[in-house]
Amino acid sequence: MNSRSVCLLVWTGWLGCFCLGAWAAQTPRTVPINDVEESVPPYSLPEVLTLRNGQRVTSAQHWPRRRAELVHLFEDHVYGRIPSGLPRQPGWVVETRRDAFGGKAIRQRIQIPLTRGPNPILLDLLVYRPSQATKPVPVFLGLNFDGNHTVTHEADVPLARGWVANRPRSSVTNHIANEASRGTDAEAWPIDRILERGYGLATAYYGDAEADFDGGWKQGLRGTVAPQGADHHFEPSDWGSIAAWSWALSRALDQLSLDPAIDAQKVALLGHSRLGKTALWAGARDPRFAMVIANESGEGGAALARRFFGETTLRINTSFPHWFNGRFKDYNHRIADLPVDQHELVALIAPRPVYIASAEQDRWADPKGEYLSGWHASKVYRLLGKEGLPGPDLPAVNRSVGESVGYHIRSGPHALTEVDWEFYLKYADRHLR
Residues that bind ligand GTR (CB under 6 A): 273-274, 298-299, 311, 316, 319
If the CB atoms of residues 111 and 213 are measured against ligand GTR, the closer one turns out to be 213
The residues pairing with 270 across neighbouring beta strands, listed in sequence order, are 293
If the CB atoms of residues 257 and 319 are measured against ligand GTR, the closer one turns out to be 319
Instruction: Output the smallest distance, CB 159 to ligand GTR, in A.
Output: 21
Active site residue 376: no
Instruction: Output the smallest distance, CB 187 to ligand GTR, in A.
Output: 16
Instruction: Return the amino acid letter for 192.
Output: D
Instruction: Output the smallest distance, CB 265 to ligand GTR, in A.
Output: 29
Instruction: Output the smallest distance, CB 25 to ligand GTR, in A.
Output: 20
Q: Choosing from 62, 72, 232, 414, which is the catalytic residue?
A: 414
For the chain, what is the radius of gyration of the CA atoms?
22
Instruction: Output the smallest distance, CB 219 to ligand GTR, in A.
Output: 21
Q: Choosing from 181, 273, 373, 404, which is the catalytic residue?
A: 273
If the CB atoms of residues 238 and 311 are measured against ligand GTR, the closer one turns out to be 311
If the CB atoms of residues 266 and 274 are measured against ligand GTR, the closer one turns out to be 274
If the CB atoms of residues 392 and 413 are measured against ligand GTR, the closer one turns out to be 413
- Measured CA to CA, the distance from residue 312 to residue 6 in angstroms comes to 45
If the CB atoms of residues 317 and 404 are measured against ligand GTR, the closer one turns out to be 317
Active site residue 414: yes
Asked whether the beta carbons of 142 and 279 are under 8 A apart, the reply is yes
Instruction: Output the smallest distance, CB 279 to ligand GTR, in A.
Output: 12
Instruction: Output the smallest distance, CB 212 to ligand GTR, in A.
Output: 9
If the CB atoms of residues 311 and 344 are measured against ligand GTR, the closer one turns out to be 311
Residues that are catalytic: 273, 414
